[in-house]
Amino acid sequence: MEEAALPINYSYIIGLYLAVNAIPDLYLYVDGPDCATFKAEFIYGRHDLNSTLLNCSGPDRIVRPRNLDVTSIVHDRSEKIRRIIHETCALPEAGGLMYVSMPMATITATQYDSIVRDMGRKLSKPIFEVPSLSLSSDWLDGYAQAMKSLASNLDLNGDPGPARVAVIGYMMDRNEKDHTSNITQIENMLRGLSLDPVSIWLSGRPLSHLRRAGSAGVIISLPHAREAARIIASRTGAKLIETGLPFGFHGTVRWLEEIGAALGLEEQAAAYSESELARVLPGMKWIINKIFLGRRFFFGGDPHMMEPVRDFFIELGCRPLAMIATAQEKHLTPLPKSLVRDGIPCRFNLKPGEIVQVTSEAFRDGCDIIIAEDMLRNYINSPPGTCVSVPFGFTNYHRHALSDSPYLGFSGALNFIDTVSNELMRPPPDKNRSR
């Protein structure tokens, strides 16, 4: 009998909320029932302590109709929708409004575009439509679709300059210091190549910052928003460079090499990497030999992090056992050759029972390090022996960043090693102490 459970994944709407959460002056009208607000609680006050999606003393940035149900939704609600859009755009703190419908509202065929068009000049703020894809897509689609909508419709400022760079597709899943310091690392690396990072999508900054992408002569595309990056490059005529993520020492060197090769800055990229490695590598030999060498690890979370995490841990002398993505397989198709060569389970969108089965088989002889997001960690089978479990990615309810804690770039690699090695060196709990 097939297991009656949903896959461990996050909904399209939650991905859209993550994008809105990372743009502080963007509001989102969700045409749907009250549960639209509850979905924001995956982020607000739990995953992101700095989230502004909800507001107990003022208007929420997630806006919805009140008491919408199966009876009221079938009536003409055009005037109510107009009023909500008008009132939201009139808020002084609102720089723009995005709108989407949940399936319950989508099937009524409400003409949102017509409503917005009829309001015309009465709207003082830009409006962005996001397609309703909740029934077929997941959180990574929602995040990417939000940026695609912005890339297609946002006014882009300025004439592109050859040394100005916009980075499109950073996964800003919260506004805490792990992500803000990642942004700092990315910007510092680009400045190390004599480039000017004028706009990072997304980075916890307002729409005015995103508009500066129009002045970039170079668009660096990261995995979470490939289409948005292509759209911006086609609109502005900027040079498009598609890269991976600067995760780990070799991964960061490779990222700089890719950018340097595309822009004729190979020597600057090599010199910057050499200087940074000389700064961060002292002491690594002892840590690798003493703490990491020969360890077995498991990763669970964002599929775009599967290969970067695999490469970094192999760089540290570790061996992968299995990987599970909390997303649909389409986001990493075809599977990277390095993951195929490993011959380990790389699974996607699994149900709880399937997660237990995969991890039970992979951990038969033990596992030393589990790197995974929180919901997945709830269903991982506990391996025999000693194992450390480090929360990482979305969702992460048990580890927050109140001070700079990057995981990208050279400093991020060092900080990530620091985090994992401290867990590995932590003494096991004394079972006799409580007696």
**Token pair in block for residue 431:** 């079972």
**Token pair in block for residue 210:** 């995103």
Please answer whether residues 37 and 59 qualify as being in contact, where contact means their C-beta atoms are separated by less than 8 angstroms. Answer: no
pLDDT > 60? residue 434: no
Q: What is the mean pLDDT of the chain?
A: 93
Looking at residue 66, what is its pLDDT? 79
Please answer whether residues 406 and 182 qualify as being in contact, where contact means their C-beta atoms are separated by less than 8 angstroms. Answer: yes
Q: What is the per-residue pLDDT across 109-158, written as a single tens digit (0 to 9) for each?
A: 778 888 888 887 778 899 999 999 999 999 999 999 999 999 999 999 78
Looking at residue 70, what is its pLDDT? 72
Please answer whether residues 237 and 260 qualify as being in contact, where contact means their C-beta atoms are separated by less than 8 angstroms. Answer: no
Q: Where do the structural domains in the chain lie, given as residue ranges?
A: 12-153, 161-280, 284-400
Q: What is the per-residue pLDDT across 28-87, written as a single tens digit (0 to 9) for each?
A: 999 988 888 889 999 999 999 999 999 988 899 999 887 777 777 777 788 898 999 999
> Confidence class of residue 1 from pLDDT cuts 50, 70 and 90?
very low
Q: Kindly report the number of other CB atoms within 10 A of residue 181's CB atom.
A: 21
Homologous superfamily assigned to 12-153:
Nitrogenase molybdenum iron protein domain (3.40.50.1980)
Q: Write b or e for each residue in 58-83: b if 16 or more Cβ atoms lie within 10 A of its Cβ, otherwise e.
A: eebbbbbbeebeeeebeeebeeebee
Same fold yes or no, 12-153 and 284-400: yes
State percent of the chain over pLDDT 90.
81
Query: What top-level class would CATH report for the domain 161-280?
Result: alpha beta
Q: How far is CA 350 from CA 42, 75, 95, in A?
A: 20, 39, 39
Mean pLDDT of 299-308: 98
267: buried, middle or exposed (CB in 10 Å: 19+, 13-18, 0-12)?
exposed
Looking at residue 51, what is its pLDDT? 97
| Domain covering 284-400 in this structure, CATH number | 3.40.50.1980
- The Cα–Cα gap between 252 and 304 comes to 15
Q: What is the per-residue pLDDT across 318-339, written as a single tens digit (0 to 9) for each?
A: 999 999 999 999 999 999 999 9
